[in-house]
Structure 1
Amino acid sequence: MMVLFATLPAALAAPATPAAAIVGGVRASTTDHPWMVAVASRSVYGDARSGQFCGGTLISPTKVVTAAHCLYDESTGQRVDRPDLSVVVGRTDLAGSAGQEVPVVDTWVDPNYDLNTNEWDVAVLTLAEPQDPRSVLPMVSQGDAAPYATGTAATVLGWGDLHGNGSYPATLHEVQVPMVANATCAADYHSGPSGTYDARTMVCAGRQSLGGRDACQGDSGGPLVVAGRLVGLVSWGEGCAEPGHPGVYTRLSVMADAVRGQL
């Protein structure tokens, strides 16, 4: 079935379903990646791991980009009201207290977003307090196709499951994955229960024939980075790190102007 990568296992969240996230990667640090943030709600997901349920990227001192589906309830198809929605900045280890938890005061979801197809899967969170402008990550330009060329090396980061078996770490991880050709991804995700790949708003990345490296639940909304720019967001896929099922990411270059319009 189609898996949206936001769901956390019952051991780590209040309402949840079993799930799998950064697979085949290595430890990373918010010191090296200060733009990497955790999207959190302690009232819904508990105090473990600072209430993290999605990832996000700081693209301006007061704005974080994440996946639109992180703000929805998959079972009802409705927006979720999390009064204590926050962004955790500068905290590599979510079991610790480094950095700060910044309240979110406003949310924007791309008006074209479709929960059923996962097209236009992007949202912008507005922070209550501005962060260090040196900590932001530049975003891909509107219409720029170069970062998505087949085989281009990309890096994805998150706090998700390391092995696809519910082993969620408290520390940040990263993994390098190559971009996958549109035709290959379309064949892997043709019309069916797994979901349908749409090259207009999506891009695939992963070792298509080998598997072993991927993002998954808990990593949703986290960054796909190429050459120091944010080019995609963890969105959906089938399983985690499975051969023939690379991860599917939001193709930010087609909605970059709309996102920048929120800055």
Structure 2
Amino acid sequence: MKILAPFALAALLLVSPAHAVVGGAAPSSEYIGRTVVTIVGSRGNFCSGSVIAPTLVLTVAHCVQPGAEYKIVEYDADRKPQLRDVTRVAIDPGFRMQAMLAHRATADVALLQLKIPAKGKTPARLGAPLLPISPGAKFTIAGVGVTVRGDGKSGGIIRTANLVATGKPGTLQIRLVDPATAGTRAGLGACTGDSGAPAFEDQQAGPTIIGVVSWSTGPNGNAGCGGLTGVTPLTLYRAWILQTARQWGFAL
């Protein structure tokens, strides 16, 4: 069992440049929370992901760019972090980093294959949002991001938040807000470390992953967290996910 290496430990203590955690929400031990894993990179970033098969993780493309090594973090009985190897990474070929940084729609999805199954995790159901998506539609996000922007030590715990769609949601992008604040003042939402977090919708089969968290803003669209949470829905990218999974020997 390998203790968390220095590069990965730093990732849990520093702020990632990619906005994305669920600020102030209560820790989750329910089904949704049991699907979430922490992803760390050798460049010092950390993100969220969701287990969709015992050794297959869904996350966002901007978190696992080429040129770095990635690991999954698990914790032993004493809450000491342990690293687990990622053996393969695939990024949707349609992803464009500049579009994501500008909060525009892009194929911000990626898959990681693990060397061994993620310990204590329950694979999540994978789907797409029910159409049409209406403003006010309810979704739940779950991630390991910071609860206080700029304080990396406040991250690393799986938290969930119930948010609602705002603006003109569709198959390219869904923007979520805390229904208690409507994005006009600080509320629940994604923050640093929540990039790649799953967005769930309650469907007939139960909670289903319908998208991944790509970005966030502060209140009124300003820099920071607690305003908008940008979700990339899987409607246009689920076929790529399933095809890649099949090529890797998974039947989702």
SS state of the match for residue 157, structure 2?
coil
CA RMSD of aligned residues (A): 3.3
For residues 54 and 11 of structure 1, the distance between their equivalents in structure 2, rounded to whole angstroms, comes to 9
Alpha-carbon shift at residue 206 of structure 1 (Å)? 0.8
Name the CA shift for 1:115/1:222 in 2 (closer, same or farther; >3 Å): same
Is contact 1:144–1:253 with CA below 8 Å preserved after alignment? no
Count residues in correspondence.
218
Match of 1:121 in 2: 108
Overall identity of the aligned pairs, in %: 23
Ranges in structure 1 where 5+ consecutive residues have no aligned partner = 1-8, 46-51, 73-78, 184-198
With over 3 angstroms needed to count, the CA separation of the structure-2 counterparts of 1:81 and 1:165, relative to structure 1, is closer
The 8 Å contact of residues 88 and 101 in structure 1, kept in 2 or not, is answered as yes
Runs of 5+ consecutive residues of structure 2 not aligned to the other structure: 1-9, 101-105, 222-226, 246-252
In structure 1, what is the Cα distance between the partners aligned to 2:121 and 2:38? 18
In the other structure, the counterpart of 2:6 is: none
Give the whole-Å Cα distance in 2 for the aligned partners of 1:169 and 1:226: 24
Contact conserved, 1:20 with 1:166, CA < 8 A, in 2? Answer: no
Deviations 1:211-258 (A, max 9, x none): 41110111110111111000111111333xx14551111111221111
Match of 2:214 in 1: 235
Decide whether aligned partners of structure 1 residues 151 and 66 sit closer, same or farther in structure 2, where only a CA change above 3 A counts. Answer: same
1:96 matches 2:79? yes
1: CA distance between counterparts of 2:30 and 2:39? 14
Taking the aligned partners of 1:153 and 1:133, their CA distance within structure 2 comes to 27
SS at match of 2:63: helix
Query: 2:173, 2:232 within 8 Å by CA — same for their partners in 1?
Result: yes
Other structure's SS at 2:165 match: strand
Note if contact 1:204-1:246 (Cα within 8 Å) is conserved in structure 2: yes
In the alignment, residue 79 of structure 2 is paired with which amino acid? G
Partner of 2:23: 23
Runs of 4+ in structure 1 off by over 6 angstroms are: none
The equivalent residue for 2:177 is 206
- Aligned-residue offset at 1:144: 4.3
Distance in 1 (alpha carbons) for counterparts of 2:171 and 2:31: 34
Cα pair 1:179 1:204 within 8 Å, conserved: yes
With normalisation by structure 2, the TM-score equals 0.73
TM-score, scaled relative to structure 1? 0.70
Residue from 160, 166, 172 that aligns with 1:180: 166
SS of 1:116's partner is: helix
CA contact 1:18–1:166 (8 Å) conserved in 2: no
Between the aligned partners of 1:261 and 1:136, the Cα distance in structure 2 is 18
Partner-residue secondary structure (3-state), 2:192: coil
Secondary structure at 1:117 match in 2: helix
Asked whether the 8 Å contact 1:159–1:219 carries over to 2, the reply is yes
CA drift of 1:22 comes to 1.2
Are 1:257 and 2:239 counterparts? yes
One-letter amino acid of the counterpart of residue 175, structure 1: A
